[in-house]
């Protein structure tokens, strides 16, 4: 076929770093042929704060609040991963009461994270209304965090060995009330979106990443599950007592943006299920294990990972026997998942790039660290 002047001319377009739909400071260099995307290159690092370097000069406890600043919409999950990694190194385990409280707060945080994702993703795709609803519901989760530890976003909710604060009076009632109130809200979102023709037009068949490609790129979390892989670290390698709870792992079949939406919606329902079971069975007892005030883990290293809202969040901590960690490596799910962007957007339209970045659910604070 003869090439005209127009379709032989590749246009290079910078999307970001200041662009509302890149969810932070992500710069994507798009190579365009008309409206079609031929290739992309991600430029990251605008938010790099050297978190891993900071760890070298802090004690184990002092570093814990820093991890909240990575994935700042899921700070509780970040904190959980870190304290579990250090607990593994010092061979300590949080008491049962603390573990149940951790599960409740982490699952509430998963809901908060998914709500922010849903609102902004819908906004990117052109539906403004859901954002107001999801932020309203997320507010209730943040209020519970605020009541518990005084902070809403960067909570520093957990300590190495357990919890610092006892659950406040009326915690169970408040969480239960939230669960009862929230479940119909998910149905409301679904009413707005699931069978909405514009929503489906924008999402169905867009940004397909099949299971084999997910594994090749190391993509985890809802993106992997939407490709039909029933894999969730809470089930595969349970931590914090997740094996006690009865819940399902939702999976998709078409591995597209629409399935990833459905998977995350169902995950919120499952999180509520876990929270309800956990609240009903909070054991009595101490909230802190016997952990030395000055931590000096024996020389060695450990890798511990959890199922964060965005995928596998891992901490690789190396101890040299002193009070400071010799090295803390964070394996952020957003960074690894973003790497698959190029594969997902090839051949798509520019407008789809926005939908695909949204569906990956990235947080730049975590990518750049």
Partner 1 sequence: MAATAWEDELTSELAQRYGSRIERFATYLGQKFLVAEVGAVPEIVETLQLDWEFDYLVDITGVDYPARPKRFELFYILYSFARNERVRIKCSLAEGERPRSVCSIHATADWLEREVYDMFGIEFAEHPNLRRLLLPEDWQGFPLRRDANILAMDNRWVKENLGIESGQ
List residues binding partner 1 (CB under 8 A).
44-45, 48, 50, 52-53, 56, 88-89, 91, 215-218, 229, 231, 236-237, 298, 300-303, 305, 312, 314, 316, 318, 326-327, 329, 331, 335-336, 339, 368-369
Q: 119 vs 297, which CB is nearer to partner 1?
A: 297
Q: 135 vs 289, which CB is nearer to partner 1?
A: 289
Whether the CB-CB separation of 259 and 253 falls below 8 Å is answered with yes
The dihedrals phi and psi of 300, each to the nearest 5 degrees, come to 155, 180
Smallest gap from Cβ 171 to partner 1, in A, equals 33
Q: Are strands 311-319 and 327-331 parallel, antiparallel or unpaired?
A: antiparallel
> Cis bond leading into 17, ω under 30°?
yes
Smallest gap from Cβ 45 to partner 1, in A, equals 4
The whole-angstrom separation of Cα 203 and Cα 260 is 9
Smallest gap from Cβ 292 to partner 1, in A, equals 16
Q: Which residues contact 139 (CB under 8 A, 6 or more apart)?
A: none
Q: 50 vs 126, which CB is nearer to partner 1?
A: 50
Q: 88 vs 121, which CB is nearer to partner 1?
A: 88
Secondary structure E strands in the chain:
11-15, 27-33, 36-43, 158-159, 162-163, 300-308, 311-319, 327-331
Q: 166 vs 301, which CB is nearer to partner 1?
A: 301
The dihedrals phi and psi of 183, each to the nearest 5 degrees, come to -55, -45
Smallest gap from Cβ 233 to partner 1, in A, equals 10
Smallest gap from Cβ 220 to partner 1, in A, equals 8
């Amino acid at each position: 076929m003869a090439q005209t002047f127009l379709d032989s001319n590749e246009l290079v377009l910078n999307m970001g770093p200041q662009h509302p739909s890149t969810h932070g400071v992500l710069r994507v260099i798009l190579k365009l042929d008309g409206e079609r995307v031929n290739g992309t290159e991600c430029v990251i690092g605008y938010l790099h704060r050297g978190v891993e370097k900071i760890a070298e000069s802090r004690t184990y406890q002092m570093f814990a609040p820093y991890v909240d600043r990575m994935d700042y919409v899921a700070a509780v999950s970040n904190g959980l991963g870190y304290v579990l990694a250090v607990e593994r190194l010092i061979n300590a385990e949080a008491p049962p009461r603390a573990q149940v409280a951790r599960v409740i707060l982490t699952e509430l945080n998963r809901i908060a994270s998914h709500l922010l994702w849903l609102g902004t993703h819908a906004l990117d795709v052109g539906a403004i209304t859901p954002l107001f609803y999801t932020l309203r519901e997320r507010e209730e989760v943040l209020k519970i965090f605020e009541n518990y530890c005084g902070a809403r976003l960067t909570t520093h909710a957990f300590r190495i060995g357990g919890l610092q604060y006892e659950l406040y009076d009326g915690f169970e009632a408040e969480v239960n009330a939230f669960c009862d109130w929230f479940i119909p809200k998910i149905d409301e979102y679904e009413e707005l979106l699931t069978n909405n023709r514009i929503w489906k037009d924008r999402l169905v068949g867009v940004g397909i990443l099949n299971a084999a490609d997910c594994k090749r790129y190391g993509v985890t979390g809802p993106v992997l599950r939407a490709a039909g892989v029933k894999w969730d670290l809470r089930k595969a390698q349970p931590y914090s007592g997740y094996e006690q709870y009865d819940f399902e792992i939702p999976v998709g079949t078409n591995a597209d943006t629409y399935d990833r939406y459905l998977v995350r919606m169902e995950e919120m329902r499952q999180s509520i299920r876990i929270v309800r079971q956990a609240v009903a069975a909070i054991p009595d007892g101490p909230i802190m294990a016997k952990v030395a005030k000055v931590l000096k883990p024996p020389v060695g290293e450990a890798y511990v990972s959890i199922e964060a809202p965005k995928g596998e969040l891992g901490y690789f901590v190396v101890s040299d026997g002193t009070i400071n960690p010799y090295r803390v490596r964070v394996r952020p799910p957003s960074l690894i998942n973003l790497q698959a962007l190029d594969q997902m957007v090839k051949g798509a339209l520019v407008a789809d790039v926005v939908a695909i970045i949204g569906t990956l659910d990235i947080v730049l604070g975590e990518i750049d660290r």
